[in-house]
Structure 1
Amino acid sequence: MTTRTKPGNGANPKEPRPVAARIDELNDRVWNQMFDNFEAALSQARNILADAERIGYREGTAYAQLNIAWCHSYLGNNEEARIAFEKALELYRDLDDPVGRSKALNGLGVLSHNMSRYERALDYYTQSLDEARRHGFRGREASTLNNIGEVCADLGNYKEALDYFLKAYDIIPEEKNTEQKANILLNIGKSFTRLENYDLAEEFIRKALELAESESERVVVASAWDVLGRISRGLGNLTTAEERFRKAIALAEGTKSRREIIEALLDLGSLLIDRGSLGEAQEVLERAARTSEEIHAKALYYAAYERLAETHERKGDYKTALEYFRRFVRHEREIQNEDTTRKIKDVQIQYEVERTQREAEIYRLRNIELKEKTESLEQMNRQMLTISEIGQRITSSLDMETVVSTLYDSLRGLLVTDLFAIALYDQASKSLKYAAYIQDGRRIPRESVPLDPKRSFAAWCIRQDQPVFIRDLNAEYRNYLQGEPKFFLGKPGLSFIYLPLSIEKKVIGVMTVQSYNKESYTEQHLRFLVALAPFVAIAVENSLIHDRLEELNRELQREKEQLERATHQISYLANHDSLTGLPNRRLLFELLRKSFDLARRSGSKVGILYVDLDDFKPINDKFGHLTGDRVLVEISERLQSVLRASDTVSRVGGDEFVAVLNHVRGKADVESAARKVLAVCDAPFELMGESCRIGASLGISIFPDDGDSLEALLHCADSAMYTIKHSTKKGYAFYAK
């Protein structure tokens, strides 16, 4: 949690007027009671600002602006907070108040940090630190060191962060209030939690909690319970962890500090995912995402998107999972691009520093082995440029194979690569999955390898997030391992370097180069690979994200195809007779409309044959319905066989069929088709060894002669059919008006 320090009065008049003294008193009261209710404190600070401006009391105005800025910051109103901090800074500069300048700069740093603008935050913190040290303000120095440590922690540099926190704690003046000490102890505990040293983590968090509760610092108390929940989760005590996360949320809600609420919600959501409570996890994480977006906390809402993607993926909702994952990737790439830019800038700065140093060295040794030194320095210069070139080449590809081959081809020309490997770290199984394992120039398939924390160099590298540098295996392995080193495949290297591949706060894998000989690598090789490792991590992460997006897209495509097949099947079943496969009455009406429209345009006619089978019921009665169904199927096939491809046969009832004859010239064409239909219907059926006949009665109507609506024409054909049915049967009749 970010440390704030009491603004104070800066360069107040030696004998402030009574009204000014009252304003100072009210400003102090707002500051001390701010955590009880930020909204109420904001309202009071605005009133104080108005009074101070009314009487022209600039010291009180600056103090009120700082209080307003801090209230807005904790409420997540970032733009309003920025404006207030900048107004306070401008006033303190006009007043020539170094304490005030340091406080305002520190506030701007905190605001930038909360919005994940780390470079800007460090710039403000550096200016604040310079003011504090120049004027001997130990309390201000401690606050700023603590805040710089928080930036280091957010960037995953936990050991460096601990150094800043411990320095800050050592220089806190004895008279300082306990809030600052509690904040620093809390941050130390958070760092040990990240380093998985849970015993030390809980010890510092308990101390912070005790101090915060004694002074009713409720935001610190809420944050402490959240970290205690992380410790319980890390130790596998999930029930206790959930209780602590929920307690942290309740406490944070009481303070209305939205950043503390979001962090506790994210921790609870992750725990619920692990426990399989996906519905509740979704609700919790959606609330965290909404609140993060409202306060523009980029790092927090992209963390919420990542966990929401995992939740929906586990629920099988791949479309929503893909949408959240795309949001997460978009924001992560923004941060990665910032990280890449920062790394390139660091390399360029380092290059310029070393170039200047080398130029000075060349000048000093101009007459002492000048040629040898110049060649060496030129080689170092080429190496620094190579880092930038390789980094840009590998981060421009999303394909893992391309990344690996480009990296390997580049490295083997610069150092010994008897063995080169990149492995991805699976935190859940504590194992490595090799993306590439190249020994003696050959790619060798590797299975996942479990990590032995006592005997694995890779495990040490991942746990400590630090490189392993071995010049002589037998002489130096005890510096890293508690037992004999374990090698799973091939000839072991006698000298090697392992490097962690880290993105933000997360180690995603390791890279190693190894030699069969001792003393194959130097400090220069180590510096080169350490500078290159961030580029490799970004390239590997990009390829993993790309692969995951491809898999989600494939899954969505499969779901889409299945849905299309199901839709097609449903449409087919809705429009066709399930027994014969012929169009049903619904589809018949649609086809008739199209036939009538075509006939109108072409000037042709349409014949409609209403077919009713004769003597079909005795077949069912004698042989059963299954045999009757087979007869209906065969009748449908016979009807289709004697009609043209442009004609349509449909089944509209139990033993009733309708044939639609397109492009007919007159009755003669229809009559010819009717005789064919009668003939095939009258042909005998072989049923269980017996020859049986059924026959058919046909009624005929013609469009447009007998009408121009499909209902009327079907009625006409049906009426004509009944004329035959009730007289001779096994014949046909045209509709007669």
Structure 2
Amino acid sequence: MARDDRGAAQALLIAGSAQVELCAYEDSLASFERALVQFGAIEDQDGRLEALSGIGVVYHRVSQFNFALECFEEVLSEAQVRGLKTHETAALYRIGEVCEAMQRLEQALEFYQRARQAAEQAGALTTLTTLEIAIGDVYRKMHRSEPALRHLNRALQAAAEQSAEVARAECLTSLGRLHQDLGEHQSAEACHRESIALYRSSGNRFNLVEALQHLGWLFQQTGRDDEALQCYLEAINISESIDAGAHAHKSYLRASQLLEKSGQYRKALEYYQRSAELKQALSSDAVRLRVGSIMAEIDRDREDSDSERARLRVGELRQKTEALAEANRKLTVIANIGRDITASLDLGKLMFAVHAAINSLVSTDSLGLGVLDHDTGTVSYRFFIEAGQALAPIEVSLNDSSSLGAWCVRERREAVIGDLDTEYERYVPERPQSVGTPNKSALYLPLIVRDRAIGVLTVQSRTRHAYSEGEIETLRVLSSYIAIALENSLILERMVQLNKELTDEKAELQRANEMIQHMANHDNLTGLPNRRLLNDVIEKYLPLARRQSSRFVVLYIDLDDFKPVNDQFGHASGDAVLRTIAARLAASVRSSDVVARIGGDEFVVLMRDVGNTEAVRRTIDKLITRIEEPIALDHGPIVVRPSAGATVFPQDGDQFEKLLLRADEAMYRIKGSGGQRRWTFYSD
């Protein structure tokens, strides 16, 4: 019997994992929770931890990170107590994944490295490959390209040796993003295309969507908009085909940006709206999962204690259920119509959607939608449809004594008129003027949002007393949806107008702020970081260097006899010399290094993550040689000779000011050596 129970629980685990890959998260959560209960009943701790990990994976997928962490931390705690290395490794890796998704990169790196240690002890080669990819990708996100490249290349080689196609694809995706960050677009494209081919051949469509998004983003960044759009559209189609539409919100958003750029504004708006809906759906799925999980527990508790009373009440409940089902069916029809109406932000589309919806519920010959304009004190009937044809827009004063629509908005009350010839005086003193063909009965409903009227809906018929109380109640319910849709459309109109007016002003303000920020942190002459920015960079970098036991070099450079250049050739020539040397230094170091001008003819170079001492010597020799190359001036070429001193963290000091002071001391030793050497280490 226990063997059968274990087999059933294992089947639930397999089902849950498959449902995760198909993005059927509610089903997968149910499978994992049932497996958790069954494994607990037969005291199978391995199975129980696998089921709990599965639940954590589901919560991670729907961005419920705190719930996911609770699951993985419980698995980690039990695994460590019981000495279960495989579960410990997996839990550490999963916690690292959640930390990475929450942008806690240093924590993620710590957990991945702990997982790697556990995997090495267990001899789990496949897991080690996955962890190398994860560690490399975190280094990439931390903008540490050298260790990122090292780990990812190691993982790629291991995946090839193990014939692990999915791991290869994941590694190539990360390498593609790294090359993209470094501006190596051809290498990035090659990696993304190869990873996409591997995902296609392996049938891994969820990761294929992500890979297509990365390739699309690369194309979008490099101005290949048509190719980018094709990538996003394919990602959308695949997401929809595996019922994972909620994960396509990023593709919809970026596709909307490209459509807007190409002038396809309506379609861009539709895609933007779809992106927002899917993002909301993903959040709703997460809430529904949690609520469903809690309700399942409540139901199981009730099942034992209330089963007898439940059987006695079945007949009564069935009757009530049938009545509620009928009422719910009617509400569902209205809600579906309301959803379709509120999905449109375009006023023209909104009006025709309203017309179609109302005609599906009641008979109408004319329909109008009036919008209140507070600035002009008028109700503007932008849309009035008669016999399926749109009439010319009309505008009436809010104080018009013959306008039923104006009265309705002004009083925020509905007007129900069975016979317009005799009943109008209940609302207005003067006979209303007809728009189009005169009608015999009419219904005016104020469109109210947050206790304020924003417009009016009118439905009219050529038949007297055309609308029953049931139909009027249906239109009342529908009018609340129309009010929301109208407000959304009006907000969009105002936003578009405001955006148009503010774009230039915002751009100008942004340029001014960027210029002020740049001027505060950069040298005006050379454009290099100044001492203030250099100090900020190093102070932020020092804690990381200490934690990771990294070495870095501070090189202090002073130009010998620079003053005669100004005296002999003028300050304009001196400025040209300084700009030339600044450009040479900036072009001769890595992107991760920093070149700063901290004084008149004084420069400092910060070289991060340096290797052995000989490699550093070669780099500094190259910098000195570049400075000494002739500089062309109007009066002919000149040569400027530098003196420099270098300190190494941590052996020459563990604080920036100390490192800089000792580099300065080393530089002055060179100046006093009579020109025999150009630079030295402080410790030499």
Query: How would you bin the TM-score normalised by the shorter chain?
Result: 0.3 to 0.5
Higher relative contact order (CA 8 A, sep 6+): 1
- Give me the TM-score of the superposition, normalised by structure 1: 0.43
Structure showing greater radius of gyration is 1
